[in-house]
Structure 1
Amino acid sequence: MSDPSDLVRRAAVRVAALAQDGLAYSVGDPAKDYDTARYRELSELAADLLAAVSTTPREVLRAVLDADSGYATPKVDVRAGVVDEQERLLLLRERSDGLWSLPGGWADPGDRPGEAAVREVLEETGYPVEVVKVVGVWERDVRGKQPPMPVSVFHLYFLCRLTGERVAHSELETLDVGWFGLEELPELSQRRINRWELERLLAHHRDPTLPTEWD
């Protein structure tokens, strides 16, 4: 049976998206002033519902919802799985929570997904890489990432390989960088990655002919 609080959160995310869509097509049209007011109220109700089932302060949730405009679409996060000859994964320690993750982050407008993954690896670890294949396109909620977010997120996971030696970097965006086997993993940043995803990356490294996976 589904967790009731998670059902409420999912419904609130959908309500927030519908409100955002309505505002995108009604704001600025005098004939739709009443619709605009209703959509704004729906957006506030969505924030109330999210706050009721979350430990995140309402003002933070409200800021996340306000950060997007126009027709609501899922946010896109890219992650790069770099595996060495000893089948160790390249991980980095995040500044925000001190926990470990794969290189990656939000894709920026204008980014090509693969180029974004390559750039993130270089900026966060100092290693130059190239993309081998897309391993998976996974939805954050389906993969059980914690804590839940007030928006829908798609994760694009790329298998990458090294193309050279590590570049000396004076200002890496992370606290630390290291190579880890599956049986020696440090504490993972569960809001970003989980062990199952690392296992799938390693499986595709061992057999690159495996088909791309998706939710």
Structure 2
Amino acid sequence: MMVEPQWIRWAKRIQAIAQTGLSFARDPYDLDRYRELRELATDMLAHGAGLDGSPDRLRVRELFAGESGYPTPKVDVRAAVFQESRVLMVKERSDGRWSIPGGWADVGSSPGEMAVREVYEESGYRVRPVRILAVWDNSRHHDRPVAYAVYKICIGCELVGGESRAGTETEAVGWFSLDALPELSVTRITEQQLRRLHELHTHPQLGPDFD
């Protein structure tokens, strides 16, 4: 299992402390210190990811600055749709790599509703959610820098209709064997995770994975 490097975890923790302080502190001097902490976290992530002096550093800064309130992990809902040994995947426009359908959870939608909608919008297929296969802390499953703490909910779904059609956020749709996977968008899904999801799918007596 790949694990997020310790320096990333430290940077995120500093950011979380800064965000909490900026949300609840009232003293102007304290607020200045928390802003400095947020800048330090930004510098740590940007430098560690090789983004010094680039527009991407500004994106990291904007991500942090846009967060307010008590910091909690974001929720990423993913749909695992299998046909025997093949898995439904979509090619992300954002990075040109492949993932299983999914995205950030929306307020007002249940995880099951999110899975159904994301599959249809990203692939054109209709599915029925069957059961939760896994709930993972994203930082414990890959070593790429990600600004947010993320919990990933993977829901096993049954194909019920529709036809292949890329969406506004996807370039292509395909069914892939686990032994012939395309280049993966590993912050969204890893090969190890896909293999574990298939194992859970084919052995319904197993309970959901969780960290």
Q: TM-score, normalised by structure 2?
A: 0.90
In structure 1, the residue corresponding to 2:75 is in which secondary structure?
A: strand
Indicate the residue corresponding to 2:180 in structure 1. Answer: 184
In structure 1, the residue corresponding to 2:158 is in which secondary structure?
A: strand
Per the TM alignment, residue 90 of structure 1 is displaced from its structure 2 partner at its CA by 0.4
Indicate the residue corresponding to 2:157 in structure 1. Answer: 160
Q: Higher mean Cα deviation, 100-109 or 171-180?
A: 171-180
Structure 2: how far apart are the matches of 1:130 and 1:208?
Answer: 16
Q: How does 1:127-142 map to 2 (within 5 A)?
A: 127-142=125-140
1:200 aligns with 2:199: no
Q: How many equivalent pairs are there?
A: 206
- The residue identity in structure 1 corresponding to 2:33 is R
Indicate the residue corresponding to 2:10 in structure 1. Answer: 11
1:52 aligns with 2:50: no
Structure 1: how far apart are the matches of 2:32 and 2:87?
Answer: 50
Greater strand content = 2
Q: TM-score, normalised by structure 1?
A: 0.88
Q: What 5-or-longer segments of structure 2 have no aligned partner? A: none
In structure 1, the residue corresponding to 2:50 is in which secondary structure?
A: coil
Q: Is the 8 A contact 2:92 2:170 kept in 1?
A: yes
Q: Is the 8 A contact 1:125 1:172 kept in 2?
A: no
Structure 2: how far apart are the matches of 1:196 and 1:13?
Answer: 25
Per the TM alignment, residue 76 of structure 1 is displaced from its structure 2 partner at its CA by 1.0
- The residue identity in structure 2 corresponding to 1:49 is M
Q: How does 1:39-78 map to 2 (within 5 A)?
A: 39-56=34-51, 57-78=56-77
Q: Is the 8 A contact 1:117 1:158 kept in 2?
A: yes
1:83 aligns with 2:60: no
In structure 2, the residue corresponding to 1:110 is in which secondary structure?
A: coil
Per the TM alignment, residue 189 of structure 1 is displaced from its structure 2 partner at its CA by 1.4
Structure 2: how far apart are the matches of 1:148 and 1:140?
Answer: 11
Q: Higher mean Cα deviation, 6-15 or 50-59?
A: 50-59
- The residue identity in structure 2 corresponding to 1:212 is P
Cα shift readout 1:135-192 (whole Å, capped 9, x = no counterpart)? 11111110015x211221111111100122327x585531111111111211111221
- The residue identity in structure 1 corresponding to 2:74 is K
Structure 1: how far apart are the matches of 2:168 and 2:63?
Answer: 26
Q: Is the 8 A contact 2:90 2:100 kept in 1?
A: yes
Structure 2: how far apart are the matches of 1:15 and 1:91?
Answer: 35
Per the TM alignment, residue 13 of structure 1 is displaced from its structure 2 partner at its CA by 0.7
Match for 1:150 among 147, 172, 178?
147
Structure 1: how far apart are the matches of 2:146 and 2:166?
Answer: 33
Indicate the residue corresponding to 1:36 in structure 2. Answer: 31
Q: What 5-or-longer segments of structure 1 have no aligned partner? A: none
Indicate the residue corresponding to 1:209 in structure 2. Answer: 205
